[in-house]
């Protein structure tokens, strides 16, 4: 399995979602579907633990933006945490650090 | 001589001719300004010299563009690359799309997926896609009630539903050759290459190309010249693009738009706060809280904090302010209950006690009724701060949507991000040109409007990241669509001369001829040399004759009216609509009348000098010879028995059911 995404922890104040593998064109749809499902279940305050994501491309970034859209439209947030080097540098290159709230790890991201 | 050596020599000669033509042109125009303006009639001589200057600048840009022509030989393609082939359609006949889709399925590349992107969401199209064995995408429910952005929106939608590393875009009528991917994918070994554009070739042009649709000048010397400056244009079809480049473009655009919008929203709200007056302590406190929150958010934005964080600062301030107002309102209700309680209403007394006991929590939950402050209920700020781009169906829009011709804006944005492009001049797809004059004009108008739109909204000279030659290449194309005004002056000049005797030059002297004639001849030679065998006269005729259309395009964009994307008709529209050519006809009639009047005057012994007569007669003949092209086009009938011929490879390999072989000779729906 190339890509896994699951909800780790759900409290009233936030839900922790962990993803691992390659977030690219092939897995972007799955990612978006899962996030949408979580938000539709009433959990829109999301922290995405990206510690397992080894690679991300533009389609993956676009999926992150869709996640952000989904969460914020429901009045929540979409925080990124625990980024590896490749995703961190791509996010910076594309100036998405201008958009997302990024934290060193999931604990720091908790509200 | 080796072919490449021959090419080098040819280019050298072409450049020398170009330089000479430019020198002669400058020599002429400078003389026009400093020594030959008709000072007695500035109302005439100034527009005239400006029109001439326009032409000279056009020539300079053309020579610069033609300066180098890279040799493009296909490189060996990568061993493995996933390619998504998008066939875009809106309302074209299902049969026509099917022919293209079948040809796409036969493209020689193992790792490909063919998608029909049907903006018409037709069940018949979906069924045909299934029969052919290709995929079918139409817009989902996310798009309901949102701007659709025509073809760009159609492709942006499909980009998010597919995942191939490369994308080939084909218009519904563009039948690809089986080799198209093998010949183009190799170029992508250059990692910063964003797209390869190949020519659009029309297999249904009637003999003599009456509508001037022949595009081999553009998809030849012009695109090759632009390619020489890493500024080949993406033309919306027959191109292979790198998905990563497109997505990057979309994400950049998203970030920039969101940042700009957030800044504007904060500014607007802050301004509104400044204007808000307050009468009581609670409202004043709320206004203060909001004002402070907005200030903090603005500062955070300047400090490059994340937009999510900035949004949250505003949202928190709004929540707090709303709480303050709400609490005041709830207290007022409590006060009213207390009044009733004093009069002995026990129920009111109970409510009063409940409210006072839980004031804060009730206030937190109760939505504020106030409309003096921009609070949570006001959509304008929510829309802007949720980073969701809710007014759009998809937040990330890779293909530019600012223009009704999305291709040029997209290519320019890619170039400005440092991506490269290639124009590969071999014809690898065969499409349909409009088959009647009216449709052809609609297509021209759309291109003209789209190009002018990009010029206004994303002027290449102010676009960061483009090299100066790239700016010039984009500008040159945009500039050419402003020609209508100047051509009108050139068309009116001989008419004015014959009727009034007033000339735009101070005298038709030897000085004029020794400067003008060499320039004029050299200019024509240069153009023909660069075109290297491609007929140019039809193009020159249309360049002059399209003055009403180009003027209309510029004015319609400047007036700010919303422009619709018109799908170019792929079938013949019947009837001759004279309204399409009344401006040109008027000029022709006026010119003939003016020449007649001039001749009668000359032989009757009135004023006009013989040289003036001859120059203006020659000029008039040139004008009329150019303009008649539209009259001919309007009344054009293809010769008896003529039919568009599909390219050989389609006829040979198209295994269509026997009862349906009509499309082999006439996919445009011609009988």
Question: What's the confidence (pLDDT) of residue B374?
Answer: 60
Question: What's the confidence (pLDDT) of residue B121?
Answer: 93
Check if the beta carbon of residue A80 is closer than 8 Å to that of residue A100.
yes
B505-559 per-position pLDDT tens digit: 988 889 999 999 999 999 999 999 999 889 899 999 999 999 999 999 999 999 9
* Residues in chain A closer than 8 A to B250 (CB atoms): 58, 62
Give the residue from A80, A99, A108 with the most B CB atoms within 10 Å of its CB, the best one to mutate: A99
Closest Cβ–Cβ partner in B244, B252, B306 for A101: B306
CA distances A105 to A64, A79, B591, Å, are: 17, 10, 79
Closest Cβ–Cβ partner in A24, A96, A102 for B251: A96
**Residue range(s) defining the domain that contains residue A74:** 3-102
Residue A67 distance to chain B (closest CA, Å): 9
Assigned domain for A108 exists: no
CA distances A90 to A64, B166, B193, B241, Å, are: 13, 20, 18, 20
Q: How many CB atoms lie within 10 A of CB B149?
A: 23
Residue B159 distance to chain A (closest CA, Å): 9
Question: What's the confidence (pLDDT) of residue B571?
Answer: 59
Phi, psi dihedrals of residue A77, rounded to the nearest 5°: -140, 170
B292-306 per-position pLDDT tens digit: 999 999 999 999 899
| Chain-chain contact of A98 with B248 (C-beta, under 8 angstroms) | no
Phi, psi dihedrals of residue B627, rounded to the nearest 5°: -70, -30
A52-102 per-position pLDDT tens digit: 999 998 889 989 999 998 898 888 899 999 999 999 999 998 889 989 999
SS (H, E, C) B97-148: HHHHHHHHHCCCCCCEEEEEEECCCCHHHHHHHHHHCCEEECCCHHHCCCCC
Chain A nearest-CA residue for B84: A25
A13-25 per-position pLDDT tens digit: 899 999 999 998 8
Number of domains into which chain A is organized = 1
| Chain-chain contact of B243 with A59 (C-beta, under 8 angstroms) | yes
Check if the beta carbon of residue B21 is closer than 8 Å to that of residue B526.
yes
- Kindly state the helix (H) or strand (E) to which residue B430 belongs, with its residue range: strand B429-431
Closest Cβ–Cβ partner in B251, B258, B390 for A62: B251
Distance CA B123, CA A94 (A): 39
B18-55 per-position pLDDT tens digit: 999 999 999 999 999 999 999 999 999 999 999 999 99
Token pair of B595 as six digits: 């020449």
| Chain-chain contact of B395 with A65 (C-beta, under 8 angstroms) | yes
Assigned domain for A109 exists: no
* Residues in chain A closer than 8 A to B395 (CB atoms): 65-66, 69
* Residues in chain B closer than 8 A to A77 (CB atoms): 308, 312
Residue B562 distance to chain A (closest CA, Å): 28
* Residues in chain A closer than 8 A to B307 (CB atoms): 98-99
In percent, the amount of chain B with pLDDT more than 90 equals 59
Rg (CA), chain A: 12
Check if the beta carbon of residue B149 is closer than 8 Å to that of residue B397.
yes
Distance CA B171, CA B100 (A): 9
Residue A98 distance to chain B (closest CA, Å): 5
B75-124 per-position pLDDT tens digit: 999 999 999 999 999 999 999 999 999 999 999 999 999 999 999 999 99
Residue B333 predicted with pLDDT over 90: no
Distance CA B660, CA B668 (A): 14
Question: What's the confidence (pLDDT) of residue B399?
Answer: 86
Task: Tell me the CATH number at A96.
Answer: 3.30.750.24
Per domain, the residue ranges of chain B are: 3-65+478-634, 277-372
Residue B377 predicted with pLDDT over 60: no
The H-assigned helical ranges of chain A are 25-40, 58-73, 85-93, 106-109
Q: Which residues pair with A18 in a beta bridge?
A: A6, A49
Residues comprising chain A, all counted: 111
| Chain-chain contact of B243 with A97 (C-beta, under 8 angstroms) | no
Closest Cβ–Cβ partner in A58, A79, A101 for B244: A58
Assigned domain for A107 exists: no
């Amino acid at each position: 399995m190339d890509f896994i995404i699951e909800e780790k922890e759900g409290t009233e104040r936030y839900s922790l979602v962990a993803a691992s593998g390659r977030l690219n064109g092939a897995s972007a749809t799955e990612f978006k579907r899962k996030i949408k499902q979580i938000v539709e279940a009433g959990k829109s305050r999301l922290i995405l633990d990206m510690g397992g994501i080894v690679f991300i491309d533009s389609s993956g970034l676009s999926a992150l933006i869709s996640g952000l859209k989904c969460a914020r439209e429901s009045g929540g947030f979409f925080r990124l945490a625990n980024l590896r080097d490749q995703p961190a540098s791509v996010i910076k290159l594309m100036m998405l650090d201008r958009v997302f709230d990024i934290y060193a790890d999931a604990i720091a991201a908790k509200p | 001589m080796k072919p490449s050596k021959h090419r080098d020599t040819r280019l050298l000669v072409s450049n020398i001719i170009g330089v000479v033509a430019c020198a002669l042109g400058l020599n002429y125009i400078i003389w026009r300004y400093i020594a030959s303006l008709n000072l007695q009639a500035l109302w005439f001589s100034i527009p005239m010299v400006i029109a001439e200057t326009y032409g000279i600048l056009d020539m300079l840009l053309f020579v610069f563009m033609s300066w180098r022509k890279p040799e493009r030989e296909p490189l060996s393609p990568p061993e493995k690359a996933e390619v998504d082939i998008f066939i875009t359609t809106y309302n074209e006949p299902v049969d026509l799309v099917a022919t293209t889709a079948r040809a796409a399925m036969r493209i020689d590349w193992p790792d490909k997926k063919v998608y029909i992107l049907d903006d018409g969401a037709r069940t018949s199209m979906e069924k045909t896609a299934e029969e052919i064995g290709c995929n079918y995408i139409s817009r989902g429910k996310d798009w309901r009630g949102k701007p659709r952005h025509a073809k760009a929106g159609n492709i942006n939608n499909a980009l998010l539903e597919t995942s191939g590393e490369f994308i080939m875009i084909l218009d519904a009528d563009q039948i690809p050759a089986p080799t198209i991917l093998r010949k183009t994918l190799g170029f992508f070994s250059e990692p910063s290459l964003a797209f390869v554009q190949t020519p659009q070739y029309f297999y249904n042009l009637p003999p003599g190309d009456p509508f001037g649709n022949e595009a081999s000048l553009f998809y030849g010397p012009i695109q090759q010249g632009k390619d020489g400056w890493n500024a080949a244009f993406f033309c919306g079809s027959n191109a292979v693009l790198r998905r990563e480049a497109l997505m990057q473009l979309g994400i950049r655009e998203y970030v920039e738009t969101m940042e700009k919008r957030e800044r504007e929203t904060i500014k607007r709200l802050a301004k509104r706060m400044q204007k808000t007056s307050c009468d009581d302590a609670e409202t004043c406190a709320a206004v203060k809280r909001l004002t402070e929150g907005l200030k903090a958010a603005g500062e955070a934005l300047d400090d490059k904090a994340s937009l999510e964080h900035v949004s949250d600062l505003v949202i928190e301030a709004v929540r707090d302010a709303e709480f303050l107002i709400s609490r005041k309102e709830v207290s007022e209700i409590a006060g009213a209950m207390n009044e009733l309680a004093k009069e002995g209403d026990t129920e009111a007394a109970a409510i009063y006690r409940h409210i006072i006991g839980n004031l804060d929590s009730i206030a937190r939950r109760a939505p504020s009724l106030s409309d003096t402050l921009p609070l949570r209920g006001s959509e304008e700020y929510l829309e802007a701060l949720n980073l969701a781009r809710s007014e759009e169906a998809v937040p990330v829009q890779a293909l530019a949507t600012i223009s009704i011709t999305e291709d040029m804006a997209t290519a320019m944005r890619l170039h400005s991000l440092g991506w490269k492009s290639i124009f590969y001049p071999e014809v690898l797809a065969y499409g349909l040109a409009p088959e009647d004059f009216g449709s052809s004009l609609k297509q021209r108008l759309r291109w003209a409007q789209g190009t002018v739109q990009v010029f206004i909204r994303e002027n290449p000279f102010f676009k960061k990241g483009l090299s100066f030659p790239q700016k010039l290449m984009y500008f040159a194309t945009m500039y050419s669509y402003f020609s209508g005004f100047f051509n009108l002056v050139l068309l009116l000049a001989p008419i004015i001369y014959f009727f009034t005797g007033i000339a735009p030059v101070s005298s038709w002297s030897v000085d004029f001829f020794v400067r003008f004639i060499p320039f004029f001849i050299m200019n024509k030679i240069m153009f023909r040399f660069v075109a290297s065998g491609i007929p140019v006269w039809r193009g020159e005729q249309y360049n002059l004759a399209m003055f009403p259309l180009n003027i209309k395009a510029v004015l319609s964009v400047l007036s700010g009216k919303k422009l619709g994307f018109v799908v170019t008709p792929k079938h013949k529209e019947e009837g001759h609509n004279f309204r399409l050519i009344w401006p040109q006809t008027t000029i022709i009639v006026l010119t003939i009348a003016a020449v007649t009047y001039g001749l009668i005057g000359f032989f009757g012994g009135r004023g006009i000098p013989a040289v003036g007569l001859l120059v203006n007669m020659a000029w008039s003949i040139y004008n009329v010879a150019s303009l008649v092209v539209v009259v001919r086009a309007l009344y054009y009938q293809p010769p008896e028995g003529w039919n568009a011929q599909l390219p050989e490879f389609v006829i040979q390999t198209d295994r269509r059911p026997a009862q349906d072989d009509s499309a082999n000779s006439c996919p445009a729906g011609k009988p």
